[in-house]
Structure 1
Amino acid sequence: MPHKSLKWLPAVIVPAVIVVGVITVPLQAGAAVDLPDKTPKQVLLMVSESTVTSFSGTVDQSSNLGLPDVDLGGAVSPSPSAPGGTTADASSQAVTTALELLTGSHTARIYADGPGNVRVQVLDRLAERDLISNGTDAWFYESDTNAVTHLAIPAHESATPEDKAAAVKEFAPGDLGTPAALADRFLSDLDPSTTVSVGNDTRVAGRTVYDLVLTPTSTETLVRSVSIAVDSETGMPLRVTVQANGQNEPAFEVGFTKVDFSAPSADLFEFTPPANATVTEQAIPAAPGADHMTSDDGTKPLPGDLPVVTGTGWDAVMELPAASVPEELTASPLFTQFTTKVEGGRTLSTSLVNILITTDGRILAGSVPIERLQAVATAP
């Protein structure tokens, strides 16, 4: 799997570098489970043949990535949607939001009915973030700032529902991290760099599951294993757990605490901005691989703008060109607090992912030691 370790890299800490939005739940204790024995190939087949498109449920998040313990209070200036907000404020807000999602515990409700209808409600103690998509419109709402971002999804004749769903993921990738979506990132390119086995049967959200375990053969990666809990009846992944080397507790998980496989009510996928909300219109992002989707000016990304990947499997390193990080972000106090100065630049380290921002502005990221990032950065 040449890009496996890059597909789930937690994005928003450094814009356009990592993909976040994992929602997690602790392991659930309960009565012993003894399902009919299946081989890894048979469990993989269950996942690939799963036909579940409609469901709803509740998920909880608790990440343990070893991020520095700093005070986020007061780190963010007025919201960019408020009077006086600046680009620097927006960058700080983005960083803070990402760090909040990557630390502590969070609860979310997820509703889905086919690829086009999705609603995700991330419930914080004093605020709520909502993503709603119905195939023609996508909305992202933040209750603490009463700010709404709207994306009108073009009705291209050649665009399939899956294409439109991909565009929504580009619009708000951090809020679509369901267990099934995350599992697909790990399973899409299985190759000899991964050993696949079946662990002990267990329960997730009250349902019996097979435990599909992916173990890297590499000794250089930060990832020890990935466990995917596969529903024994539907084949839908209900939880994904990622273990880091040298750490007993899961680095993060994404899983359901409650799940219902009936179709949610259609009115859940409709949204009207609240009174006095600030509404921002956003152009549709260019989804990678979608030939018919282009930017507003009709252009497509140039090859030099795309990430360069060095290595394969779990040892792969992704590199983005200089100027990928806005100057406002590197000037933010949060950037200094959460990064460490090293030879050749600054690093942000977690138990699963290391990021190197070089002195010349390049970004290198991977589930590998910092030394490997530095070696790739200085290679001719």
Structure 2
Amino acid sequence: MRWPVAMTRARRRWLPAFLVPLAVAITVLAGSLTAGATVSLPPKSASDILAMVARTEVRALSGTVVQEAALGLPEIPATGPGAAPGAAGALDLLTGSHEFRVFVDAPGKARFQVMERMAERDVVVNGRDIWFYDSGDNSATHLTLPQAGGHASHDPGDTVMETPESMADRFLAAIDPSTEVRVADDVSVAGRSAYQVTLIPRSAGTLVESVSIAVDSETGLPLRVEVRAKGQNEPAYSLAYTALDLAVPDPGLFLFTPPPGAAVTEQAVPAKPLPDKLLPDKPVPDQPVPALPSPGPDEPAPAQHGPSVTGRGWDAIAVFPAGVVPPEVAASPQLAQALQPVAGGRALTTALVNVLFLDDGRIYAGMVPLERLETAAAAE
């Protein structure tokens, strides 16, 4: 279950891949969510709570998720003259508040409905088929995921959008000696009691102050993720359920037929998809608590034609060689509004993530200061 930030990770995965390399999101608590409310639960250690997450058996649900970004980006219109649907959508969901409905029947079935004031954007995953629909311009994009050995090369639900669970899994899987793990106060999220753990980077080189994860006390399902940036009191980005139903959704929700008159585009899926995060995948189920490997040297990955990651954990930097990211992304008028000129290119700077677009086509991104990206680029 995964909710990337806007464009959607196939039609939109190109931009989120380097705009949000650690996949973060923020909570605007409303409706049935009691923000900050504390509850009293039997005490558990950090290892106990992490083990609950690794053992969770929730595979089907319906819910409402609210996201709000306070990254310091300007408001970017998702529609209008010259709007590029992909880039504009991704940037739009990196600013302000957004609400979406999520329906999941894992493995391989998911539906996401992003509700806007003037339009609705839908993502429907059913096996290898993924549909993206925007009612604003009545357009639809259809992708068919590749197969490997006669089977889908990866779980389609892991290709589309971030949920609190998938986001929490990525952070928890990256726990190593560079991360301090603390137990925080119990809370209520979406009307459900939850334990909390807080991850605190020991690295001085990251923009991240802390990551707080609320875990359902009954099922172990992550209900909320909050990420705080250094120097800020409130979360810079978080994602949370405001309503949650653990019943299996109606199967008809995962069937999609383009509306009459819709402009339908068939789009190829890259043979080697871009990395959508800098953190590793979620822990293996039979290893309930993430291992704590010894940090290795800060060495870049072997040279390759696709993207790579240099560094580890909180200090990691995603490196995209020239030509990997479609040129129309960097050329988007909406993205241009958020970029500032720097030596040798342009940069997108936020409270949590920085992205360096070099004039030669290379792109560097990470949850590190811009100077770190420029140093990494100069070293190549």
When the two structures are superposed, what TM-score results if normalisation uses the length of structure 1?
A: 0.81
Cα deviation, 1:208-254, whole Å, max 9, x if unaligned, reads 00011111000110000001100000000011110001111211111
Tell me by how many angstroms 1:55 deviates: 0.7
The one of 187, 201, 224 equivalent to 2:186 is: 201
Asked if residue 24 in structure 1 is aligned to residue 15 in structure 2, the reply is: no
Say whether 1:138 aligns with 2:141: no
Distance in 2 (alpha carbons) for counterparts of 1:52 and 1:18? 29
1:30 CA drift (Å): 6.9
Deviation of 1:325 (Å): 4.4
Is contact 2:307–2:320 with CA below 8 Å preserved after alignment?
yes
Q: Which has the larger radius of gyration?
A: 1
Q: Once superposed, what is the RMSD of the aligned Cα atoms?
A: 2.7
Partner of 2:357: 357
CA distance in 2, matches of 1:318, 1:227: 24
Q: 1:25 to 1:16 in 2, by over 3 A?
A: same
Matches within 5 A, 1:129-208: 129-153=121-145, 158-159=150-151, 163-166=153-156, 169-170=158-159, 173=160, 176-208=161-193
Q: Deviations over 1:345-379 (max 9, x none)?
A: 21110100011112322111111111111111112
**61, 64, 68: which one pairs with 2:67?**
61
Answer whether contact 1:12 1:95 (CA < 8 A) is retained: no
CA offset at residue 15 of structure 1?
6.7
What CA deviation, in whole Å up to 9, does each residue of 1:14-60 have, x standing for no partner? 47523568463338347641111111111010000001101110111
Q: Distance in 1 between matches of 2:5 and 2:135?
A: 27
Structure with more of its chain in helix, by fraction:
1
In the alignment, structure 1 residue 72 sits paired with structure 2 residue 77: yes
3-state SS, counterpart of residue 184 of structure 1: helix
1:72, CA displacement in angstroms?
3.3
User: Residues of 1 paired with 2:37 and 2:229: CA distance?
Assistant: 28
Question: What amino acid sits opposite 1:187 in the alignment?
Answer: L
Q: Which residue of 1 aligns with 2:88?
A: 96
Task: Give the structure 2 partner of residue 86 of structure 1.
Answer: none
2:234 is aligned to: 249
Q: Is the 1:131–1:138 contact (alpha carbons within 8 Å) kept by the matching residues of 2?
A: yes
State which drifts further: 306-315 or 212-221.
306-315
Query: SS where residue 130 of structure 1 aligns?
Result: strand
For residues 326 and 206 of structure 1, what CA distance do their matches in structure 2 show? 43
Letter paired with 1:238: L
Q: Structure 1 residues 21 and 273, CA, compared in 2 at 3 Å: closer, same or farther?
A: farther
- The residue identity in structure 1 corresponding to 2:19 is I
Structural mapping, 1:218-367, within 5 Å: 218-286=203-271, 304-367=304-367
Deviation per CA, 1:43-90: give whole Å up to 9, x if none. Answer: 010000001101110111211011135x6387642xxxxxxxxxxx6x
Q: Distance in 2 between matches of 1:9 and 1:189?
A: 20
Alpha-carbon distance change, 270 to 334 in structure 1, aligned in 2, over 3 angstroms: closer
**Residue segments in structure 2 that go unaligned for 5+ positions in a row:** 7-11, 275-301
* In 2: Cα distance, 1:73 partner to 1:110 partner: 21
Cα distance between partner residues in 2 of 1:208 and 1:73? 36
**Residues 353 and 140 from structure 1, CA distance in 2 versus in 1: closer, same or farther, beyond 3 angstroms?**
same
1:288 deviation in Å? 5.4
Q: State TM-score, norm by structure 2.
A: 0.81
Q: Deviations over 1:180-204 (max 9, x none)?
A: 0111111123211111111000100
2: CA distance, partners of 1:225 / 1:31: 20
Q: Secondary structure at the match of 2:131?
A: strand
Cα distance between partner residues in 2 of 1:243 and 1:379: 30
CA contact 2:65–2:99 (8 Å) conserved in 1 = yes
Task: Find the aligned partners of 1:72 and 1:114 in 2 and give their Cα distance.
Answer: 33
Identity %: 49
* Alignment CA distance shift 1:270-1:60 (3 Å): same
Post-superposition offset of 1:97: 1.1
Alignment gaps of 5+ in structure 1: 1-7, 78-88, 290-301
C-alpha deviations, 1:278-299, integer Å up to 9, x for none?
A: 112223443659xxxxxxxxxx
Matches of 1:228 and 1:41, distance apart in 2: 13
